[in-house]
Chain A
Amino acid sequence: MITLCIDTSHKYLTVALLKDYEILVSFQEECFKKQSEKVFVVLNDLCLKANINPLDINEVVISKGPGSYTGVRIAMSIAKVMCTLNNIPLYTLNTLQLYSANIENCAVIMDARSNRAYIGIYNKGNTILKSTVYEINIIKELIGDNFLVGDLSLIDKEDFYPNISKAFLDLRPCWEKVENIHTLTPEYLKEATTYMKK
């Protein structure tokens, strides 16, 4: 069983190939806004290293947001087309849930711009607080004494991100199977109308 994992929803590009319950090859690098150019170079590279033909991949798992809109849509475009054409299953994880990486009592914070952030709280992948967007001062009240992950510079701490490939693997029980691949859309948490030109 070969699994392709992709996360493009934040400033990192993460791609991993899993074989059953281990990571065969993986890539995680900061490349904000360069993911769209880089992702297929990495895919080619990893397949070559692992000696895998893309058609040998049996399933795909991606993060579905919230996060960078353009970013989230990169992995989702690839996954939707690939799983449709190859007729293989597609799984998703909420991006914040993915970043909580199987840690106990973990609050994940991610920049949502304009003085706002996404927050989600998880206990070993299980949702305690569903991902939501709030103003930063409210976020500070919500974190409690949870372990903190993400864009922590927003709350005057040092940013911290886990190993995403490992997080994909460890959170396997939390993967959500997509029943209808065509109708899958990212989790934006913000209405598109917010972006209407005035």
Chain B
Amino acid sequence: MSKYILALESSCDETACAIIKDNTEILSNVVSSQINVHKLYGGVVPEVASRIHIENISLVIEEALKEANIDIKDIDAIGITQGPGLIGSLHVGVQAAKTIAWLYNKPIIPIHHIAGHIYANSFVDTLEFPLLALVVSGGHTELVMMEEDYEFEVIGTTQDDAIGEAYDKVARLLGLGYPGGPAIDNLAKSGKANYKLPIPKVDKPYDFSFSGLKSAVMQLINRLKKNNEEIIDADIAYIFQETALSLLVNNTKKALNDFKPKHLVLAGGVAANSRLRELMQELIKDYPDIKLTIPPLWCCTDNAAMIGAATSIAYDKKMFKDLDFSARPSMDIEMR
């Protein structure tokens, strides 16, 4: 008997619904992106995001079912992003998911957004454990160790900004607009190692810090202005990207040495960064026994298929919840 999961995701600026068959077969994956709206504001405005979610929610569910050509009654379980994310946005998805579960008497499984990003890799590769995931996005910068399926241990995290946030802030300094990641990645390609930035220091071995780096970029620009020197945007983008990504690579390397996983995966929106992908491929050359998976671009950004992949595993572990759970904007992945 096949297993069908309907998954919903609304934690930030995408309203999404997907139908997944037998863990990894994507029958439909509908994403309604708000990015063009948030571009106008220079970032995600929470109340605006919630308003767009409520506008789109019923449509994406209907589309996903239609595309998958499946009757809702044949779905085995509902998966929903419970957190972390924007509270107002999460609420819309959670209510929608509960509605389906209640109406059709289906089990419901609340999912941690990061679990979704990690399991997105299962669409392109079989996950092998122990597994190390480098999770990088607008809201997250984490190194997560998994001894086995659905066992998460956060071994390193950011002490301040997420890496995607740092990209957005530096992009704003350079007048590149929102989202900053792709813009800086692109500009850096024509940049040279003309400037220097201090490497941020952290106390814990696998932790990250990016807010100091953003300030250092600002100071660099101010100093150049004061001295009437030319500000070469591409060179600033280059040195910011190289410094920021070197933190990711160094900590990942440390974790590979210390935890000796069988599989290294990238996850999250910043996993789409071309330079990070290059650096990771270089890094893994020193570890012939470790498999590296870099997710294709379509499953780096937020979508519901990834939530469906995580739900499929949680379904086998029967992690069903009663309908009285609530959205958790600052949910912890290690908690059940």
A→B interface (CB under 8 Å)? 36-41, 43-44, 54-55, 69-70, 73-74, 76-78, 80-86, 181-183, 185-186, 188, 192-193, 195-197
Would A85 and B72 count as touching, CB distance under 8 A? yes
Would B58 and A81 count as touching, CB distance under 8 A? yes
* A73: B residues at CB distance < 8 A: 50, 54, 88, 91-92, 95
A170: min CB distance to chain B, Å? 27
A sample of 20 inter-chain contacts (CB < 8 A) reads A40-B102, A40-B323, A40-B324, A69-B50, A77-B91, A77-B92, A78-B96, A81-B95, A83-B58, A85-B61, A85-B100, A181-B58, A182-B58, A185-B55, A186-B54, A192-B48, A192-B51, A193-B45, A195-B45, A197-B43
Q: A77-B91, A195-B45 are in contact. List 17 more A-B contacts (CB 8 A).
A: A36-B94, A40-B98, A40-B102, A40-B323, A40-B324, A54-B103, A69-B47, A77-B92, A78-B95, A80-B58, A81-B96, A84-B59, A85-B62, A186-B54, A192-B45, A195-B47, A196-B45
* A55: B residues at CB distance < 8 A: 103-104
Would A81 and B46 count as touching, CB distance under 8 A? no
Would B103 and A77 count as touching, CB distance under 8 A? no
* A44: B residues at CB distance < 8 A: 102, 323
A-B complex: 6 closest residue pairs judged by Cβ atoms: A77-B95, A40-B323, A195-B47, A80-B58, A84-B58, A81-B99
Would B61 and A84 count as touching, CB distance under 8 A? yes
Instruction: Answer yes or no: B57 CB below 8 A from chain A CBs.
Output: yes
Instruction: Answer yes or no: B16 CB below 8 A from chain A CBs.
Output: no
Bitwise interface map of B from 238 to 252 toward A, beta carbon under 8 Å scored 1, else 0: 000000000000000
Would A81 and B57 count as touching, CB distance under 8 A? yes
Contact for A82 among B47, B103, B326, CB less than 8 A? B103
A33: min CB distance to chain B, Å? 10
Which chain B residue has the least Cβ–Cβ distance from A37? B326
* B298: A residues at CB distance < 8 A: none
* B325: A residues at CB distance < 8 A: 37
Q: A6 vs B91: C-alpha distance in the bound complex, in angstroms?
A: 16
Contact for A78 among B43, B99, B104, B326, CB less than 8 A? B99
Q: Is the interface of B mostly helix, strand, loop or mixed?
A: helix
Q: Which of B43, B62, B95, B98 has the most CB of A within 10 A?
A: B95
B83: min CB distance to chain A, Å? 13
Q: A183 vs B51: C-alpha distance in the bound complex, in angstroms?
A: 11
Given contacts A73-B92, A81-B57, are A38 and B102 in contact (CB under 8 A)? no
* A186: B residues at CB distance < 8 A: 51, 54
Given contacts A69-B47, A74-B95, are A183 and B55 in contact (CB under 8 A)? yes
Would A185 and B58 count as touching, CB distance under 8 A? no
* B120: A residues at CB distance < 8 A: none
Q: A77 vs B96: C-alpha distance in the bound complex, in angstroms?
A: 6
Would A195 and B48 count as touching, CB distance under 8 A? yes
Q: A38 vs B302: C-alpha distance in the bound complex, in angstroms?
A: 29
Given contacts A44-B323, A185-B54, A196-B41, are A86 and B103 in contact (CB under 8 A)? yes
Instruction: Answer yes or no: B163 CB below 8 A from chain A CBs.
Output: no
A37: min CB distance to chain B, Å? 5
Would B102 and A43 count as touching, CB distance under 8 A? yes
Q: A196 vs B48: C-alpha distance in the bound complex, in angstroms?
A: 8
CB-contacts of B77-110 with A (<8 A): 87-88, 91-92, 94-96, 98-100, 102-104
Would A182 and B59 count as touching, CB distance under 8 A? yes
* B54: A residues at CB distance < 8 A: 73, 76-77, 80, 185-186
Given contacts A80-B57, A85-B61, A196-B45, are A41 and B324 in contact (CB under 8 A)? yes
A121: min CB distance to chain B, Å? 27
Q: A185 vs B47: C-alpha distance in the bound complex, in angstroms?
A: 13
Which chain A residue has the least Cβ–Cβ distance from B43? A197
Contact for A84 among B43, B62, B324, CB less than 8 A? B62
Instruction: Answer yes or no: B307 CB below 8 A from chain A CBs.
Output: no
Would B103 and A85 count as touching, CB distance under 8 A? yes
Would B102 and A54 count as touching, CB distance under 8 A? yes
Would B324 and A38 count as touching, CB distance under 8 A? yes
* A77: B residues at CB distance < 8 A: 54, 57, 91-92, 95-96, 99
* A83: B residues at CB distance < 8 A: 58
Q: A186 vs B57: C-alpha distance in the bound complex, in angstroms?
A: 13
B107: min CB distance to chain A, Å? 14
